[in-house]
Every structure is written in C-alpha cells, then in structure tokens.
C-alpha cells in the first residue's frame, strides 16, 4: 500500500483494529449460536458481548502473539483479559483458526467491494453528466490514431459509461460470490461444530454459508474477485489513455484540470501534463498484477495449505486500496476535465474536408459513376487538398466531372455534420435508457 | 493450437470455413434488413441467399486476398462469383469490416462457450457420480500435506463439483456478456447504416446489439471472457493437483485409469504415472496466460486501433481449444479414476490413532482436567505412538490418569469415525440439493 | 503459431522433421560415445550413421506411435526400419526419453536464438542507418505527450538502437544459458550411462553438459530464456508506440511505408494507418504472455513431473516464431519509415517559441532579475502567445522590461536550436562508438 | 510491504531518509562537477557539503511539499534551510527532477541487489553444507511423484545449489545493467548541463553513465531486473515444493525445524506443518507478479511519461523486500532442515525391491533372453510383490527361469545401491568444483 495512492476509508478496512473487530463479532455470534443449541451456557455467550464496544489493543495482542506464536490464540487471550477467563472459556469452541480468518477476509472483501461500487457510482455519475453536456460536441473519430469520420465527445463519454456500468455489474456479481463465510471446523466436516453455528454467524455478518468448505473457503471465489478488479482497472486505463491522447500538445482537445495557482502553468501554458491519467495508467498495471497470483492460489494441497495466505496479505489490501484510489482519481479527472470544442473542430478540419472523401466516393457510385471513375475523381481532388492545402469541398464543386454527377446541393450535403450525429440520441437512449 | 491437445468440434469453430460462413450470414441478414427499410432492392437481398449452401472456397479467397490485400473485400469478391456481380453489388453497403469481424468473433466465442459449457456438464456429471459413489469412503483430511482429521472421498468430489458449478455459472455470465454484435459502421455512429440492420442481424445470430460500439465492440467484454476461462482453468488445476497427490507412490489412494495392455504397467506395477493430470496442470497455465493480454487489449486508442487483433487471433482459438480439451480430459480422468479405499484407511491409520489426539485432549478438558494436565496426558501417550509405534487408543486405555477422567466407552467413542462423517449428508444436500 | 505472423526459417526449427533429425543425431552420437568406451560394438555404432541423410517419415512414425503410445519408441522403431533391427539394437541404450527430448528442445531454442539474434542485427542495422540519416533532424522532445525541449530524430533512433543492443546482449546470455544438454539417464544419476556419453553428444551438438540434471534439464534456464524474450518484445513495443504516435493525424512526423498502389491511399491520403506497428504492439503482448507460465514451470515435483511439457509445446514454437516475425516486421518498418522533417519543425513551432520559455526564464534570473519578476515577465509574454497566437520571441523583444535585462542578441540566442543539439555527437559516440 | 515478511536492512533502502540522502549526494556531487567546469562557484559547491551529516527531516520536507506540490523542490527548499539560501542557489542547476529520481532509484536497486546477493550467498552456503552432509544419503528418485530409481539427498541439495548459483550469476548481470545514472537534463540532450557532470556523479555513486537517456533512464533495464527476480523466486518455489513434499505425512523424509517448546508439537507429534515453505510458495507468486508490470513500463510515450512511476513505487520496495525475506527464510529452512535417512530407506523399500525391476529386465535381455520373455519373467515376479507383498529379490532368486539366465550374484548385484551412486562424486565435482 502506497500512502499517496490510498484513501482512508479503504485503508481502514484492512487495519488490525478492523480485523480484530470482525474476529470478535464472529466469535461472539458463534457463542450465541452455540448457546442456542445448548453446547455452551447462555450466560457465557451473553458475557462475550461485554466487549462489544471495546477497541482492541493491537500492541497488546502483538505482545501476546510474540509468546504464543499464534495470532488467533493471542486475540482470544486478549479477549479474556476483557471479559474474564471464565466467560472466555467457551469462546472459539469447536472452531478452527481458518473459520475466523477466512470469514473475516471475505467480510473485508465485501466491504471493500461496497466502497469500490460507490467509487464506480461516482465515476458513472461524472461520465453521464459530461456525456449529456457534450452530447452534440462534434469531434473527429479516429481509427488507428488517424482521422476517420466525425463523432461526438458525448459518445466518447457514453461508451466509457457503458463500459464502467458493465464493470459495476461484474463487481456486484463478484461481491455476491465472495460474500460467504465458513464455520465448519478442521477439514470442514462440522465434526466439532454444528452447521447451525455457521448459519447464524453468516446471517449476522451478511454472508451466505459456504456450501462446502475444507477448513478454507475455496479460492476460486477470490480468483474471480481479483480477476474482476483487473478488468475494471483495464477499463480505467482505457479512459486514461483517451484523455492522455486528447491532452497531447498537437491534439489539445481536453486537459486535466489545472488550478489557477499551480506552479509553472502560466509561464509555460503549453506545459500542462496529464499526470493524473498517466498515473492511472500505472495504477491499472498494479491492480492487474494481482490476477495471476490469485489464480495460482486456487490449487491448494488437499484440504488446505497456507501458500495463499501471504499472497492475500499483500493483494487483499494493495489491490482494493489502489483500485479505490484510482476510481476516485478518475472520477475527479472526469468531473473537472477541461474540454476544448473549438480545438476539436480545428482538428477535424485540419485536412479541409478530406475526412468526407468516403461519403463523396459513395455518392458518386450511387449516382451511377463507375467505381473506378468515382475513385479517380475523388483521388484527384483529394490530392490537391493533401499536397496544396486546398479545400476539398471547393475543389469538388469546381470539378466539372464531379458536378456532372452530383449537384452542388448533393455535394454540400456530404459535408453536413448532422449526417454523422443523427443517431446520437438513439445511442444515448440505449446507454442511459 | 497443438493438435494433440485439441478436439475437432472446437477446432471447427475457428476454421476459415466457419469464419466465412458466419461472414456470409451477417452479410445476408444485413441485406434483408437493408431491403426491409428500402435501402436496397428486395430482389437483390433475396438473391444473396442463393449462396446459402455454398461451402466457400478458402483457397480462392486467399488468392483474391493476395491481390486486394484485404480479407473482407476478398470474401465479397468471391461471394460475387457465386451470386453474380449484379446481386452482390449491395452486399456490405454502409458497413465497415469491423462490423463483420467483431460480430463474427463474438459468434465464435459464444459457440466456443457453448461447447465449454457442455464440457463442464460432463465434468460435473462425473464428479457427482463419483461423489455419491464415495460419499462414505473415509479418508484422512490433510492440511499442509499433514494428516489432520478424517473426511470422506465423497466430500472431495463434492467440493470439486461445487467449484466447477460456480465456474459454469461464471461462464454462462461471460457467454451472455460476449453475445453482442455490432453493425454500426465507421466509428460506430450509424451514419451510414440504420440501427435496425444491427438489430436484425443480431437477432438472427442470437446476439444482442452492442449498446454503443466505436467501429469495434469494446474489449472489456473479451477481457472478462478470458479472465473467466482463466479461473476455470485454475479449478481444473485444483482437481489435477489433488489427483497427482493421491497417486504418488507413498499415498496411492487413487490412480488414473491404466488400460490392461498399457506398456510397462505390469512389469513395473508401481510405475503408473499421473501423466494426464500433470498435463492438465500445464494446460491450466496455458489457459491462464491469455488473461493479461486480453486485459491489455482493453485500452485501444480512440475509436479503435488494431493492436488487439493479433492477440485475439492467437488466444481466441488457442485458449478455447485448450480449455475444451482440458475439460474433457479431466472428465475422462474422473470418470475412470481408480480409487483405493483400503489404502485410504491404511494411510489414515499410519500413526495408529494419533489423528484423534485433539478430540481426546478436548474430552479431557471437558471432563474437568486442567488444560496443562490434559496436554501432558495426551502428550505422553502420543509420544509412545510416535516413537515406539504403539497404538494410541490402547495406550490411553492403559493410562490410569486418563481413565480416571474418561471411561473406556468415552475413550473408544473418540475413535469413532462416525463422529467425523455425521454431517456428510447435510453437506451433500447443500451441494447437490 | 499463426501463419500470417511467421517466417519459414523459424517455423522449420519446430517441424517434426527437424525434431526427428535432432533426435537421430543425439542417438547416433551417443552410440559413438558408447562404442568408444566399449559399451556397445563399434560396428553397430557406425551402422547408425547409415541413416545420416534419411528424411524421416513423420506419418510413419505417427502410425507407429498410435500403437506404442510412446513417441521416442516409435521413432526408434522407425529408425530400425532404416538401419536394420540388428544394428538398431544398441541405440538409446542406458538413456531415458527425457535425455533425447530435453536436449532436443535446447538445440531448438539455441537455433531459434540464433535466428532471433540475426533478426536483432537487422533491426540494429536499420536503426543505426536511420539514426545517422536523421542525426540533425530537429524535432520537439515530449514529456507526458506535451512539448518539452527540442531534440533530434537521430537521438530517437539512437536510443532505440542502444535499447535493442542491450536486448541482444541479454539474448546472447540467455542463449548461452539454454545451450546445455543432458544424457544422464533416469533421475539423472548416470547409473545406466557413462558421463562421457553426455560430454560427447553435447560437444557434437554445440552444447555444454548440464552440470546436474534430474532426468530433466532444470527449467530455470528456460524461464530465463522466455523472460528475456519478453523484455525484447517490450522494447519492440516501445519503438512501435513511438511510431504510432508519430503517425497520428495531428502529429504526422512519420508514416509507415505505403506502396503507391495500396488501395485507398490516394483517395483518402490522410488515411494511412500504422497497422504494422499496431500489430507489433499486439505481438509484444503475445510474446510476453509466455513469461509467467515459463516461470511456473520451474517448480517440478521431485526429480521431474511432466507439467512443463504441454506449456513448452505451445510457447516454444509460438513465442520464438512470433518474436522472429516481429523483429523482422520492425526492421522493415524502420528501414522504410517515411519521415517528415518539415512537419517536425511545424509541430515544434506550433506555439511559436513557447517551448523556449524555460530558457528565457533562466536567463532572466541569471541576469539578476528576481525569480518572481522573471516569472511574471515570461508569463505575460507567454500568455500573449497562448491566447492571441503571438510570436514569443517578438513579444519578448518588444517588452521593455525584458530588454532591460537581456539584449536582443541574448534573447535571440535563446531560440537557437544549436543549443539543444550541441551534444548530439557526444551521445552518438557513446551509443555507436 | 508486509512487515512480517520483511527485514530491516532491505526496508531501510526504501525509507524516505535513505532516498533524501541519495538525492543530497547526487546534488552535492553535481555541484562539485559544475564547479570544476566553472559553471558555478567552487565555494558554493563546497558549501553544499556542510549538510553531509544531516539527517534530513522527512516531516518538514512533506510539509513543504504540501505547499509546493513538487517533491524535489520541497527537498531543495529544505536543503536551503540547512546550508543557507545563498549557497543553495546553485544546487540542481541545469538538472531536471528525473535526473535525481531515476538515478536514485537505480542506486536503491543496486543496493537492494547487493543485499539479495548476500542472501543468495547464505542460501548457497546452506545448500552446499547440506549437500556434502547428505552426499551419500540414499533416497528414491521420483518422476511424476512415482518411485523411479535411487538417488541421494546430497544430489537434491546439489541441484538446488547449481540452480541458485545460476540465479546469482543472473542477478549479478541484472545488477550491472541497472547500475546506471543519468544527469542529462530535460529530454536528455545535455542542453542545460555538461555531460561531465553526469560522469562525475555516476563515478562517485558507483554507477555508469546511461549512454543515452531521454530525461528518464530506459525501462528495459528495470524490466530485466524484475524479470530476473521473478526467475530467482521461481527457484525458491522449486526448493519449497520439494521440502513440502518431503514433509507430507506419508513421506516424512524431512521436516522444517520445530523448536522443542513449540505449541502442539508433542501432543500431536504428527502435526508439524511445513508452513515456512508453504509461505515461500506464496512469496514466490508475489515476486513474480512484478514481472509483467515492469515489462509494461518499457513502452513510455516519446521522451517520457510518468506511468511507470506508480508501478515502481510499489514493486521497487515490495519485490526486493519480499525476495530478500524469502531468501533468508529459505536459508534458515535449509540450515535447520531435519532429515530422516531411515524414512528415506523405508520409503524406497515400500515395494520391496520393485524399483529395481528395470535393471533386472535389462540384465535378462543382456543375458540373451528375448525381450518378450524378459518382460514376462519380470512381470510375474513383480505382480507377486505388488499383489501379495512378497520381496522382489527373493522371488527372482526362487524363479528357475530367471536363475537359468542370471546367477544369484548377478541378481543380487541388481539390488546394489552403489550402482546408482557411483557417479555422485563426478556430479559433485561438476557442481562444486
């Protein structure tokens, strides 16, 4: 976790304090369930809740762990210091450490998913606002980095919206998949603990009981979770690359917001760097790098080995924190992106109407000119534009062979931008409903 | 694609013949839709269907492409050779190559997904059969490769079933996501083609219209598709590793099926190698390696660049073919897996009851013996087993300090396997319903 | 392997014919060595060379393998068909299949490396030629895609040269690492074969004996090999991205070569797409995707498992073929790249001298103007350029407060491009010697 | 960075204190060089060294950065607080932030490499010691997890030694590659700073001047560095997997050291988990995950973009810290690994001589028995061992058809372990010299 690329809310999910709080809740709910079926005395179960508002002392737990060499035992020992050894006696009965650890990890991932989902909502809201704002702001569409045909800035925002909305739906699915808990004891047979305990604990924590666990919750769930984050990060990169392209000096169709006082901006007004989106490009790589290790974690030996654990200690916090930061940075960039419609028009007209050459070609053939002749006519006028900087429309209007096939009105119509934007509303309806 | 790791049905999806067939269908359906809205004459549209049963000549198309340097144009030229230049005139009107290529890729991926889903069904059926067959076949559960507590072979199959069933649900979701088509023209504005054409073509091909395309269908869909295959491959690896462990000489709880005549098997009966599951381990790596490139493909420049294309030419066929082969190989392995319940029991009893030491420890404390004393009692008897090969239960029964706390019946009960299997039915119900 | 992204010479290395030829050579050399130490009769060893010029019949070997289910045995059987069963009797004695397979793989990788090295030489030669050709072709250097300070096109080529030269040195190291062979028998103890056989075979094949093998050659060597290819591919991507940027419509400082007759180029002269470098971007992803599987192959179980094999069957040919194709495609692109020095100048002057603002700022402070005042002076003139399209130098020369600190000569000097190119020769000397 | 998987010495390299110290040294040496060529006054250059022993105040620098929004400027401002604004005036002249940042990163990576190299030395020393200790400790070699032929534990250690030694050589090469510095100014043209400054700074820091930089040091160097770490991590995984296999209950040929007092070890003496090597398996995945992002970092836009930076902020510290920890954990595991030669023998004899069946088969054919008959003879005796638990040697000695071909001495010789270990010294000589 890199402090400068993190937000407190997500960081808090991965703090030792949060972790111990979840451990405590799992243990306390388990005691309730054990009491309900008569395995432990009701009074003892109730007593565990005395620690309900305790902020557990991480340093003290670490101190105990230094002796016991076991984190869960250290926590239970510390818990006993709060509720008394006698009442603590029944805590954790029939459970195995993994019951606590794996259920806790999933609680954390679910909470992380919720924060990510609200980050995605912020991105979606920004994209939608900007899409409608620039629904009709014409700019040139580019394939291969080369001018193709006109489109609108709103369509660009709209497609990012659609992509991010898909990402959100995927994350909701991944969240549902990871929202399971397991209190099934050693090797997952429930030999030492009744399935009703698992049901109760899961219910209280907003989880579903893992249908079949083997001491650990199966890691395909986590692999899917991190793979989903990787796809979302790639979509962030997609938006970032677009903005970086728009901001490059020769294009300058948009700029990341630059505050008035920001150093260097006015002495070198051309030198406003898209550092936020460049940063997002890098952050996307960081999120993606968790995907393969998460998949390598799936194949554990027999009922469990602990090779997955160190991986998750790293990618659990790092990946969710990075993606959370990236989503919010992206939202900020979009919300405040400075857009230059005039430059968009200027860019589109860089080759004076040449981007319409294909429409003219088509019109000529439809007017009955042979394919070869049509091509020749377009070509000879296009080359005047390309080589001598002439205006394409004017050249066509002055070319007798062209005007023999097409009327001036027909020629002019080929340069009407409305032709290209006529279905923008249709598309917006598809995307935004 | 490696012939030895491929099955004909999946390979066929990626053949040039199949590809051209899909191209043809897209073009023909598009003509129908164009005719319906009066853009092209109905007669011409109908005429395109004359080629309905044509097996396109790949060599001829390649020949034309060598001249035109453009695959879609080469195909259209060849199509004209079948239906006549006059009727061919209106084919592809208003469309761009990507409309055909991207829609075709998704048709192929959807078909590939269907084959993969039926492969998963075969794996699921095999796992279910073997799970019920060995529901009560006791074997030792292992954590960290070390004996822990008893479980059953049926539970092992059941957890693989549950995992594979999750994989299937994920693939169904990924299939739905990839089942889109786009006939939206250059840069996706529908400037040159009416959205109703896209709707019709998609409907006829079993696809949904891509809500917003930019000449290309957005690649986050494909990234999600390949990521999902990567998770499924990891689950295959999970099963493969389990079987490889079970077959190792010292464990020998199961063996891949070995036909009677297979060379070397009876002169060296110990030397039956789990080569199929080792192979599956490698194939899983091959499937997974497509995940990151598929994610790197998401961020295309502006409305499209073609960097994704070479990647997809490789991973499209290779990954689906490999996974299809792997699923079917896995199904075969499971269907015919030779299981040795006697060896399972022998392994479990390797340390003569020692795996029950924890239950005894718990029983002693519950009987009122202090934690320290309980530990000491278990330890001194355990060490006799470990160091002198004694039987744990017998030693306990002969230890006066133990029998002072626990009756012989109570001690014997700790060695009852039924204790560990009592919830197998519960778990099966959760998994299989 | 995708035919359109492959070159015959590299493909040939991976053909069954080549493979069997290497197998044969290994076996024949091994027989010589066995005869030299008296293990097999000299006459029989010599007789094996009767097949020296045989083109082995792949179909026949496949036919035999269909029966024997073992590739090496099938080959040996076929070999006996050529040299007679009696002389064939001693072939392969004391060896294990892996001795042949692993040594062969390394021979193939070494040959592949040699082809790749000559591909890199072609790239290096092209880069060097273009570097000297454009040593003094000034263009704007860009950081963050934003104009920074002038540099030259030659420096761009020179840095790619330096990077590719590093790649070559790395590949030479990787080639040396992979150039080992092993003829050490089952589990690598030489129990059944004398180490002198390995020495002889390796010597004849241009390999070094693997110091310690375990039936297989350790896979860290292969991991390093594929990792090295991954870095080289990333360097190819680096060049490709530069060219794609240079070709985008608004920049147009260079274009991939476009043959006169190429369809569409003159009717739409603006629409020349950098499809080769976009393709290289994708190919780089394909080469890189082999890196992680190759690393996952390192940890085999005990003396060997065969999980690595399927991975190598795919990445061995696919990765070397793809990289070979990419290197040669890149060389062609560089050799024929069309460069537009005029556009470079036009781009640099887009903001009429503004890129020199930092030099002016520095000059003012060095002339004794306070940092704040210097900044204010530069800023007010810069803004006239930025907002009103004025010329920066002219504005400065007309600003009395500026000319009070700097003479016209001093101001003009700040716009001298020679200032930026004065160390080009120094750098070229470092790079090219 | 996960505290529990880190060692202080490596962590210190990545502390802000270390970073600022290196920044300071770069600036101070650069001043010396600037003074030497008369660009700045000697007195001012000397004055910079007044801060030589200063421990820079990170909190204060952060405080300044909060205002300036620029880390290098913040540092320089703080430096001025130590040496006085007047003397600080000339610091950093002609340099760009990247000169400092990139050179610093390489200094850190070089130092990290040095620590890693000494970690590898520790691993190598441990492996060598254990190899010689167990040079003649016979155990069964396994292919596919199945008993093959005898080998020795010493050979296992020796091959890990050879592999790790290769890793060390690779890291030395990667260290040399990363040991470059750049003080070349904006876009790397040396327009604002003389190359002699770079030479001096590099020399003083133990670096080589980067032959051609573009404001940034080219990232192929870093890609190679992290790829190399990935290969080393994979070799660690290789050793870890071997030990995990050896410790599994049914094999028990070795155990990670377990201190006498360690909880639970003696009440459940069978339950000693190889948690350290399981952990190493996971850590290997974490190191490897940096490889692809490092390669994605190579293709920066034009003279530089900053997408690499966030990636390196994470993988720079995380990867080196994790690998350092892993190497030292591995060394400790090997140093203290408890080895059970008796269990090795017991395992080897599990199938009473059956592992020698191949030698017997060979001996029979060499004695003139036909291949078919030899096979039949071995088979019928092997099956008695396999199915009835007989002893293979005894059965052979009692089989008249066998003894007709082989004398008792010849049969007994086939069970002589010396046959398998006769070349151990040869191999050791190759590995250890």
The pLDDT tens digits of the residues spanning B118-171 come to 999 999 999 999 999 999 999 999 999 999 999 999 999 999 999 999 999 999
Q: Mutate one of A242, A262, A282 to test the D interface: name it (highest D CB count within 10 A).
A: A282
D96 lies within 8 A of chain A by CB = no
* Helix, strand, or coil (residue B359): helix
Active-site hit among B118, B196, B234, B265? B265
In this complex, which of A279, A307, A310 lies closest to D5 when CB atoms are compared?
A310
Q: Is the pLDDT of residue C221 over 60?
A: yes
CA angle B283, B289, B293 (to 5 degrees): 155
> Please, which residues 277-316 of chain D have a Cβ atom closer than 8 Å to chain A?
278-279, 281-283, 285-286, 288-290, 292-293, 296-297, 301, 305-311, 313-314
Token pair recorded at residue C330 = 């890149």
Q: Is the pLDDT of residue A358 over 90?
A: no
pLDDT in tens, D361-417: 889 988 988 888 888 899 899 889 988 989 999 999 999 999 999 999 999 999 999
Q: Is the dihedral of CA A106, A108, A112, A117 positive or negative?
A: positive
Average pLDDT over residues D88-97: 91
Residues of A in contact with D281 (CB under 8 A): 305, 307
Q: Is the pLDDT of residue D259 over 80?
A: no
Q: Do C281 and B70 touch (CB under 8 A)?
A: no
Residues of A in contact with C293 (CB under 8 A): none
CA distance A360 to A378: 7
Contact in structure between D162 and D155 (CB atoms under 8 Å): no
In this complex, which of C68, C282, C290 lies closest to B307 when CB atoms are compared?
C282
- CA-wise closest residue to B220 among C125, C3, A160, D117: A160
- Residue keyed to tokens 């390299």: D13
Residues of B in contact with C319 (CB under 8 A): none
pLDDT number for residue B204? 98
By C-alpha distance, the chain C residue nearest A263 is C375
Residues of D in contact with B272 (CB under 8 A): 146
How big is chain D, counted in residues? Answer: 433
Task: Choose the most confident range, by mean pLDDT, from B415-419, C261-265, D354-358.
Answer: B415-419
pLDDT in tens, B192-249: 899 999 999 999 999 999 999 999 999 999 999 999 999 999 999 999 999 999 999 9
Q: Is the pLDDT of residue A265 over 70?
A: no
Q: Do B249 and D275 touch (CB under 8 A)?
A: no
Neighbours of C173 (CB within 10 A): 16
pLDDT number for residue C262? 60
Distance from CA of C252 to the nearest CA of A (A): 9
Measured CA to CA in angstroms, residue D391 lies from A273, C300, D341 at distances of 79, 31, 21
All structural domains of chain B: 3-88 (1.10.275.10), 97-347 (1.20.200.10), 354-414 (1.10.40.30)
Q: Do A292 and B296 touch (CB under 8 A)?
A: no
Task: Flag the least confident range among A234-248, C255-269, D113-127, D141-155.
Answer: C255-269
User: Which parts of chain B sit beneath pLDDT 50?
Assistant: none
Average pLDDT over residues A63-87: 91
Local structure of residue B210 (DSSP, 8 states): P
Measured between its terminal Cα atoms, the distance across chain C in Å is: 39
Task: Supply the ipTM of this predicted assembly.
Answer: 0.96
Q: Do B186 and A245 touch (CB under 8 A)?
A: no
B67 class by beta-carbon count within 10 Å (0-12 exposed, 13-18 middle, 19+ buried): exposed
- Calculate the CA dihedral of residues B122, B128, B133, B134 and round it to 10 degrees: 120
Q: Is the pLDDT of residue C47 over 80?
A: yes
Q: Which band of pLDDT confidence, cut at 50, 70 and 90, is reported for residue A281?
A: very high
pLDDT number for residue B371? 81
Average pLDDT over residues C202-214: 98
The distance from CA A105 to its chain's CA centroid, rounded to whole angstroms, is: 20
Average pLDDT over residues A162-170: 98
pLDDT in tens, C51-104: 999 999 999 999 999 888 888 999 999 999 999 988 898 899 889 999 999 999
Backbone angles phi, psi at D29, to 5 degrees: -65, -40
Q: Is B420 a catalytic residue?
A: no
pLDDT number for residue B155? 98
Q: Mutate one of B249, B275, B289, B346 to test the D interface: name it (highest D CB count within 10 A).
A: B249
Q: Which chains touch A (3 or more CB pairs under 8 A)?
A: B, C, D
In this complex, which of B2, B308, B313 lies closest to C314 when CB atoms are compared?
B2
pLDDT in tens, D122-174: 999 999 999 999 999 999 999 999 999 999 999 999 999 999 999 999 999 99
In this complex, which of D244, D278, D309 lies closest to A282 when CB atoms are compared?
D309
Residue D137, phi-psi category: left (phi > 0), alpha (psi -120 to 50), beta (remainder): beta
CA distance D234 to D285: 8
Task: Flag the least confident range among A194-203, A229-238, A362-371.
Answer: A362-371
In this complex, which of A228, A299, A420 lies closest to B234 when CB atoms are compared?
A299
DSSP letters spanning D222-289: HHHHHHHHHHHHHHHHHHHHHHHHHHSTTT-SEE----TT-TTTTTSTT----HHHHHHHHHHHHHHT
Residue A236, phi-psi category: left (phi > 0), alpha (psi -120 to 50), beta (remainder): alpha
User: Number of residue pairs across A and D with CB atoms under 8 Å?
Assistant: 98
pLDDT number for residue C261? 57
- CA-wise closest residue to A237 among A291, A168, A164: A164
Alpha helix positions (H), A179-214: 195-205
Q: Is the pLDDT of residue C277 over 90?
A: yes
b/e string for C361-382 if b means 16 or more Cβ within 10 A?
bbbbbeeebeeeebbbbbbebb
Backbone angles phi, psi at C208, to 5 degrees: -105, 140
Active-site hit among B144, B259, B270, B302? B144
pLDDT in tens, C145-161: 999 999 999 999 999 99
Q: Do B162 and A212 touch (CB under 8 A)?
A: yes
Contact in structure between B268 and D354 (CB atoms under 8 Å): yes
Task: Choose the most confident range, by mean pLDDT, from B406-415, D115-124, D253-262, D349-358.
Answer: D115-124
DSSP letters spanning C120-165: HHHHHHHHHHHHHHTTT-EEEEEETTEEEEEEEHHHHHHHHHHHHH
In this complex, which of B151, B299, B422 lies closest to A238 when CB atoms are compared?
B299
- CA-wise closest residue to D76 among D107, D109, D48, D112: D48
A382 lies within 8 A of chain C by CB = yes
Q: Is the pLDDT of residue D33 over 70?
A: yes
List, by residue number, the catalytic residues of A. 144, 265
Number of H helices, E strands in chain A: 21, 6
Local structure of residue C92 (DSSP, 8 states): T
pLDDT number for residue D366? 85
Report percent pLDDT > 70 for chain B: 98
Q: Is B265 a catalytic residue?
A: yes
pLDDT number for residue A262? 60
D251 lies within 8 A of chain C by CB = no
- CA-wise closest residue to A424 among A134, A161, A86, A215: A134
Measured CA to CA in angstroms, residue A380 lies from A391, A397, A400, C267 at distances of 13, 13, 12, 8
pLDDT number for residue A268? 76
pLDDT number for residue D358? 84
Task: Flag the least confident range among B207-216, C361-370, D285-294.
Answer: C361-370
């Amino acid at each position: 976790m890199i402090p400068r690329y993190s937000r407190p809310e997500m960081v808090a999910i991965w703090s030792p304090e949060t972790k111990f709080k979840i451990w405590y809740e799992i243990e306390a709910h388990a005691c309730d369930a054990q009491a309900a079926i008569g395995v432990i005395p009701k009074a003892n179960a109730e007593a565990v809740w005395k620690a309900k508002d305790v902020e557990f002392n991480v340093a003290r737990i670490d101190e105990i762990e230094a002796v016991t060499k076991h984190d869960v035992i250290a926590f239970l020992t510390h818990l006993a210091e709060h509720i008394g050894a006698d009442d603590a006696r029944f805590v954790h009965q029939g459970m195995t450490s993994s019951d606590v650890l794996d259920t806790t990890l999933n609680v954390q991932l679910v909470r992380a998913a919720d924060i990510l989902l609200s980050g995605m909502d912020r991105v979606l809201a920004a994209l939608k606002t900007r899409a409608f704002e620039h629904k009709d702001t014409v700019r040139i569409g580019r394939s291969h980095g080369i001018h193709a045909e006109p489109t609108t800035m709103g369509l660009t925002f709209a497609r990012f919206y659609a992509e991010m909305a898909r990402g959100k739906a995927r994350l909701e699915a991944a969240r549902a998949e990871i929202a399971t808990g397991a209190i099934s004891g050693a090797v997952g047979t429930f030999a030492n603990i009744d399935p009703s305990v698992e049901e109760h604990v899961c219910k209280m924590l907003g989880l579903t009981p893992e249908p079949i666990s083997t001491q650990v919750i199966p890691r395909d769930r986590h692999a899917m979770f991190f793979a989903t984050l990787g796809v979302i990060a790639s979509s962030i990169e997609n938006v970032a690359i677009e903005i970086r392209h728009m901001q490059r000096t020769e294009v300058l169709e948009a700029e990341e917001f630059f505050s008035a006082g920001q150093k260097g901006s006015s002495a070198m007004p051309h030198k406003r760097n898209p550092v936020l989106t460049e940063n997002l490009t890098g952050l996307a790589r960081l999120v993606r790098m968790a995907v393969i290790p998460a998949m390598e974690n799936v194949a554990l030996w027999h009922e469990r080995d602990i090779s997955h654990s160190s991986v998750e200690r790293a990618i659990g916090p790092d990946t969710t924190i990075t993606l959370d930061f990236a989503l919010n940075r992206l939202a900020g960039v979009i919300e405040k992106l400075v857009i230059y419609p005039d430059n968009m028009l200027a860019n589109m007209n860089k080759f004076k109407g040449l981007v319409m050459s294909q429409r003219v070609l088509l019109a000529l053939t439809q007017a009955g000119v042979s394919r070869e002749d049509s091509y020749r006519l377009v070509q000879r006028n296009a080359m005047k534009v390309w080589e001598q900087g002439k205006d394409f429309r004017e050249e066509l209007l002055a070319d007798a062979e062209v005007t023999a096939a097409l009327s001036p009105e027909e020629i002019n119509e080929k340069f009407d931008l409305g032709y290209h934007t006529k279905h923008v509303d249709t598309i917006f309806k598809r995307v935004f409903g």
